[in-house]
């Protein structure tokens, strides 16, 4: 999503795109639509000559091992170790030197989801939002909770309508709206370059960088 003019694009349920964010960008720039899903999204990805990948491309030994663990736990109906790390999602929120904000989020979705299920990542206002007037936001976690509460938009709305700072707007999500531990996390940046990261999972891998030379990476709290 481009915070300059609220233009945005998304794909969901695509099985062929190697780089879903690039495909989402083409939805934004080449169509009058915001979100393409399923077979239509695949046909669009193929029609624009985007790089394609089969599911084998994503089927790494680490992912295979995770999937096998997930299957074993599900079959044993073992809820003792809920996996709240949501490791499949990559999101970014950025501010350029002209004051333009942008956000993007890409995910394989929650482990064990039903075919056809769409999470929050491609839903503008739920998992992704950017508006030059306020902030850019990218979320990760249990998508249903982020969709229900329009979390990414709510961060921006608290700033726009309530005069909250980005820190206050993000903190409010976890105090009032995503209280259940393990729900997820988000990154946000405001138009002055203030970056906020918050999550209620055990960890959230993240990296922060700015033009002052700040470069940070972290996993845990």
Q: Report the catalytic residues.
A: 89
Q: Kindly compute the dihedral angle of the four CA atoms of residues 75, 77, 80, 81, in this order, to the nearest 10 degrees.
A: 40
Among the residue ranges 13-21, 114-122, 159-167, 209-217, the one whose residues contact ligand ASP (CB under 6 A): 114-122
Identify whether the C-beta of residue 121 lies closer than 8 Å to the C-beta of residue 89. Answer: yes
We find the least distance from the C-beta atom of residue 96 to ligand ASP, in angstroms, to be: 25
We find the least distance from the C-beta atom of residue 2 to ligand ASP, in angstroms, to be: 21
Three-class DSSP category at 42: helix
CB of 2 or CB of 145, closer to ligand ASP: 145
Give yes or no for residue 120 binding ligand ASP (CB under 6 A). yes
Among 109, 124, 131, 191, binds ligand ASP (CB under 6 A): 109
Give yes or no for residue 140 binding ligand ASP (CB under 6 A). yes
We find the least distance from the C-beta atom of residue 161 to ligand ASP, in angstroms, to be: 26
Angstrom distance (rounded) from CA 34 to CA 26 = 10
CB of 107 or CB of 132, closer to ligand ASP: 107
Identify whether the C-beta of residue 158 lies closer than 8 Å to the C-beta of residue 164. Answer: yes
CB of 104 or CB of 143, closer to ligand ASP: 143
Angstrom distance (rounded) from CA 59 to CA 64 = 6
Give yes or no for residue 143 binding ligand ASP (CB under 6 A). yes
Q: Kindly compute the dihedral angle of the four CA atoms of residues 151, 104, 53, 59, in this order, to the nearest 10 degrees.
A: -50
């Amino acid at each position: 999503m481009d915070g300059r003019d609220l233009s945005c694009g998304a794909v969901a349920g695509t099985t062929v795109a190697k780089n879903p964010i690039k495909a989402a960008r083409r939805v934004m720039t080449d169509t009058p639509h915001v979100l393409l899903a399923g077979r239509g999204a695949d046909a669009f990805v193929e029609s624009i000559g985007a790089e394609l990948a089969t599911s084998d491309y994503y089927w790494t030994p680490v992912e295979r091992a995770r999937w096998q663990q997930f299957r074993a736990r599900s079959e044993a109906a073992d809820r003792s170790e809920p996996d709240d790390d949501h490791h499949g999602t990559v999101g970014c929120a950025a501010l350029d030197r002209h004051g333009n904000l942008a956000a993007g989020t890409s995910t394989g979705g929650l482990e064990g989801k039903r075919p056809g299920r769409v999470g929050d990542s491609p839903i503008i206002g739920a998992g992704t939002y950017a508006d030059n007037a306020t902030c850019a936001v990218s979320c990760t976690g249990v998508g249903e909770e982020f969709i229900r509460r329009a979390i990414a938009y709510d961060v921006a709305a608290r700033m726009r309508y309530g005069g909250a700072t980005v820190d206050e707007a993000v903190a409010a999500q976890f105090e009032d709206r995503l209280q259940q531990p393990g729900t997820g996390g988000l990154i946000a940046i405001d138009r002055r370059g203030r970056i906020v990261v918050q999550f209620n999972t055990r960890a959230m891998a993240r990296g922060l960088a700015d033009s002052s030379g700040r470069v940070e990476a972290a996993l845990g709290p």
